Amino acid sequence: MEGEKLWSVSEQELQEYLRVLLVLVRECGDIISSAISSQANVEIDLKVENKEEGNSSSVLTQTDIKVEKHLIAGLRGKFPDHKFIGEESSSETEELGNAPTWIIDPIDGTMNFIHSNPLVCTSVGLTVNRKLVLGVVNCPLIGKLYSATKEGGAFCNGDKIRVSGVVEMSQAMMIMELPVGASKQKKDVGMDNVRYILDNAHALRAPGPAALDISWVGAGAADGYFSQSIHSWDMAAGALIVQEAGGSVLDTTGGDFDLMSRGIVVASSAKLAREICSFIKLLPTPRDQQTPVHPL
């Protein structure tokens, strides 16, 4: 926002942010693992406002809330001047500003969590001056922790990762979410996109958690992913991981990625990203905030 001060963060400070976050997300991984093993993963609420977006967008569990509170309390205790945007809590600011802001999805893949499916993750991104500087996606039940810092590379369990480099749709494993329970318009758009992929791609998968799907593209475990109805907390960490792994991150229209647009395309190459943007049918979706944020 005009007139807002710019923040300066040193490499030493950034590494301290990462160190603290890694401790917290691993603790959250223990909370998630314990809840699944004890079957304490039941749905406690229905997000009625999200119902038309699909069943996976409308569920909430007690563990979602517990994990988010643990993350925010731990980060606020260390960095009291930082801001927070969380899926299960209201944002502390109407619009993302220059102050260091943690963008948190406590449990991405809540529907998987409810069904004791192990593809469940915690996603945390950090912006400074509206630019992504740090991202962590932890999937505790399969033992995969993805991380990236701006200009510091992308990693899985400490080992450097790179995108696959696939450039042709005919050789690409594509990932997308299937809009179960969504409005007819969203289902129709989804099926049109599925048909193109079935006719042109090497493979299609629908694992579920957007943050993990995006991270898999960064790790070379998939080649392309897109969505038009996820949120900033689903995309923030993964977008940086893909960029630092050498991949392409775009808006669904083919322009610069906008963190608040609720749409993203990630791919193993710029050529594949452009093809994805060329075929996907667009779905009108309310933005997370009106002011664009180009964080990469």
Residue 107 is a catalytic residue? yes
Residue 53 is a catalytic residue? no
Q: Parallel, antiparallel, or unpaired: how do β-strands 224-227 and 173-175 relate?
A: parallel
Tokens of 32: 């998630």
Which residue of the set 108, 177, 213, 258 is catalytic? Answer: 108
Rounded-to-integer distance, Cα 139 and Cα 148, Å: 15
Which residue of the set 53, 68, 87, 258 is catalytic? Answer: 87
Q: If residue 256 lies in a helix (H) or strand (E), which one and from where to where?
A: none
End-to-end CA distance of the chain: 17
Rounded-to-integer distance, Cα 38 and Cα 30, Å: 12
Proportion of the chain in helix, strand, coil states, percent, rounded to 5: 40, 20, 40
Residue 45 is a catalytic residue? no
Residue 105 is a catalytic residue? yes
Which residue of the set 88, 177, 223, 234 is catalytic? Answer: 234
Which residue of the set 88, 105, 258, 288 is catalytic? Answer: 105
Which residue of the set 31, 107, 161, 230 is catalytic? Answer: 107
Residue type, 259: L
Which residue of the set 110, 122, 149, 252 is catalytic? Answer: 110
Residue 127 is a catalytic residue? no
The DSSP code for 92 is S
Residue 252 is a catalytic residue? no
The DSSP code for 281 is P
Catalytic residues: 87, 105, 107-108, 110, 234
